[in-house]
Amino acid sequence: MGGLIMKKIILTAALFLPVLAVAQPSSQVAWTADQLNFVKAGNAANGEKLAKQCAGCHGDNGISISASYPSLAGQLPTYLYKQLQDYNSGARQDPMMSGFAKNLSQQDAADLAAWFAAQPPAFQSNSPMVYELAEKLVKNGSRDRVLPPCEVCHGGDGKGQVMDIPALSGQNAAYVSYTLKAFKNGERHNDIYSRMRTIAESLSDQEIEELGFYYQNIRN
C-alpha cells in the first residue's frame, strides 16, 4: 500500500514540476496560518443570514436543483472562501457572482463559507451510466499522458483537501463536466499554477462526462 501511494505522489510531482517552473499562481489568496485560522473561525450564524441571498441559485440549504449552479453544502470552507475572493479580484469571472462577491467583506466571505461547509452535503440520484474510463483516471491516472490519479488531490472519497482542492462527491454531474470543460478551454483559469487546466486539456469529452457521473454517484 505504501509503495502504491508513493508512486502516485511521484507521478503527481512529475506532472507539476515543469508547470511550477513557468507558471504563476492564479489567485491572490495566500494560505498563511493566519489566513487559515481566519477562515476556520468564520461565523456560521451570520453566514446563514447572508446565504439567503444565495438560495435562488444554490438552494435553501446549499443544494442546487439546477445543473447550472453547484451545490455548496458540505464544501470545504477554504475552497469556498477562495472562490469568493477570486470572484472579487477578477481571477475568476462570472457576471452574477463577481458582482455579489464585490459587496462582501472578507469576514462575510468567511462566514458564508463556514455556513455552507456545515450543511449536510449533496447526494444526487445514482446514474446507470458505466464510467470505466473515469474509474481508471481516478484510481490510476494515465501514465501515457503523465496524468496523476484524481484521488491524489480530491481523495478516494471525493471529499477534497484543505485549501484549494474542492470536494466533488455528490456534485451534479453536469456541473462537474461543465467545470472541467471550462478549465480545458481556458474559460476558467483560477487554478493555482494551472494544475487543472493542464490536466483537463488532456481529457477527452467522454472522460469528462464520465468523471462528472463518477463523482455525482459517490455517497458522502
Same fold, 2-24+124-216 and 33-118: yes
Residue 9 has pLDDT above 60, yes or no: no
Sign of CA dihedral 176, 178, 182, 184: positive
The pLDDT score that the predictor gives to residue 211 is 97
DSSP class of residue 216?
Answer: H
The pLDDT score that the predictor gives to residue 125 is 64
Cα-flanking dihedrals φ and ψ of residue 165, to 5°?
Answer: -110, 110
Q: Residues 92-133: pLDDT tens digits?
A: 999 999 999 999 999 999 999 999 999 998 776 666 778 899
Pick the CATH number of 33-118 from 1.10.760.10, 3.40.50.970, 3.40.630.30, 3.10.20.30: 1.10.760.10
Nearest to 195 by CA among 4, 31, 18, 6: 18
pTM listed for this prediction: 0.86
DSSP class of residue 145?
Answer: T
What percentage of the chain reaches a pLDDT higher than 70?
Answer: 85
Q: Residues 128-174: pLDDT tens digits?
A: 778 899 999 999 999 999 999 999 999 999 999 878 899 999 999 99
Q: Residue 22 — very low, low, confident or very high, per pLDDT cuts 50/70/90?
A: very low
The pLDDT score that the predictor gives to residue 50 is 98
Cross-strand pairs, 165: 161
The pLDDT score that the predictor gives to residue 13 is 47
User: Distance between CA atoms of 80 and 166, rounded to whole angstroms?
Assistant: 8
8 A C-beta contact, residue 87 and residue 100 = yes
The pLDDT score that the predictor gives to residue 27 is 72
Question: Which has more pLDDT, 178 or 192?
Answer: 178
Q: Residues 38-68: pLDDT tens digits?
A: 999 999 999 999 999 999 999 999 999 898 9
Domain boundaries, the chain: 2-24+124-216, 33-118
Q: Residue 183 — very low, low, confident or very high, per pLDDT cuts 50/70/90?
A: very high
Residue 35 has pLDDT above 80, yes or no: yes
Please, what CATH class does the domain formed by 2-24+124-216 belong to?
A: mainly alpha
Which residues have a Cβ under 8 Å from the Cβ of 125 and sit 6 or more positions away?
Answer: none
